[in-house]
Amino acid sequence: MTRPINRALTLLPVTGLLTVTGHIGAAEITAQKNEESGLYSWVAQSEGFSIELIQLLPDFIRAIYMAHEFPDSEVEDIASYCVFGTIIKNTSNQQLDYDVADWYYTDKNGKQRKVKTKTEWLEQWRKAGVVFSWTLLPDKGTFYEGDWQQGFTTVKLPRESEFTLTYKWSLNGKEYTDQFEGLRCAPEQLAEQ
């Protein structure tokens, strides 16, 4: 398992949450808006797989990578992405496999792009002289009942863009695909109160 994401830093106090639940495709989607920060998180559950995406501010991402002495250009590159804290879980009693290389996102204009994988980030960072890996969601995983994983997922879109994430997994070799519609990139900074 990777190191836990400190959710207190990403969502701020949990007072004043607005929760909305619905169905998109086969998934049951729950969205929460933190009324103090204005940041969102979403959870989709379907066919033994749960995925949670949590908006992260660019300054939060900058702080993490600056603290690990990344070159400024690499800090700004990853901060230019929409970065989500991601938690995936096997909610079945079967073997679950996933591969982020099979995931893609679709912008409001219908353009599809692949999610940038941990392997792609690590190769880029290695070329910049950085050896660091624990923050990103692993590319692939095999989970047994109750297993989970977390890390950052990155999407290259402008701030506050809406998009649909298509994600895939398998249970005992049977493949599944589902979508998160209406996801939104975090703003550049929190709104003034």
Give the Å distances, CA to CA, from 70 to 6, 10, 132, 189: 20, 21, 9, 22
Residue spans of the domains in the chain: they are 7-184
Of the CA atoms within 13 Å of residue 11, those in its CB half-sphere come to 23
Q: What is the pLDDT of residue 84?
A: 98
Q: What is the pLDDT of residue 37?
A: 84
Condensed to tens digits (0 to 9), the pLDDT of residues 16-71 reads 333 333 334 478 999 999 888 889 999 999 899 999 999 999 999 999 999 999 99
Residue 118: which H helix or E strand, with range? helix 118-127
Find, among 82, 15, 81, the residue nearest to 53 by Cα.
82
Confidence band of 191 (pLDDT split at 50, 70, 90): confident
Residue 122, classed as helix, strand or coil, is helix
Q: What is the pLDDT of residue 157?
A: 97
**DSSP codes of every residue in 22-67:** EEETTEEEEEEEETTT--EEEEEEETTEEEEEEE--HHHHHHHHHH
**Would you tell me how many other CB atoms lie within 10 Å of the CB of residue 108?**
10
Confidence band of 193 (pLDDT split at 50, 70, 90): low
Question: 15 vs 179, which has greater pLDDT?
Answer: 179
Condensed to tens digits (0 to 9), the pLDDT of residues 81-109 reads 999 999 999 999 999 999 999 999 999 99
Q: What is the pLDDT of residue 190?
A: 87
Condensed to tens digits (0 to 9), the pLDDT of residues 126-181 reads 999 999 988 999 999 999 999 999 999 999 999 999 999 999 999 999 999 999 88
| pTM beyond 0.75 | yes
C-alpha 162/C-alpha 95 separation (Å) is 32
Answer whether residue 13 shows pLDDT above 80.
Answer: no
Answer whether residue 7 shows pLDDT above 70.
Answer: no
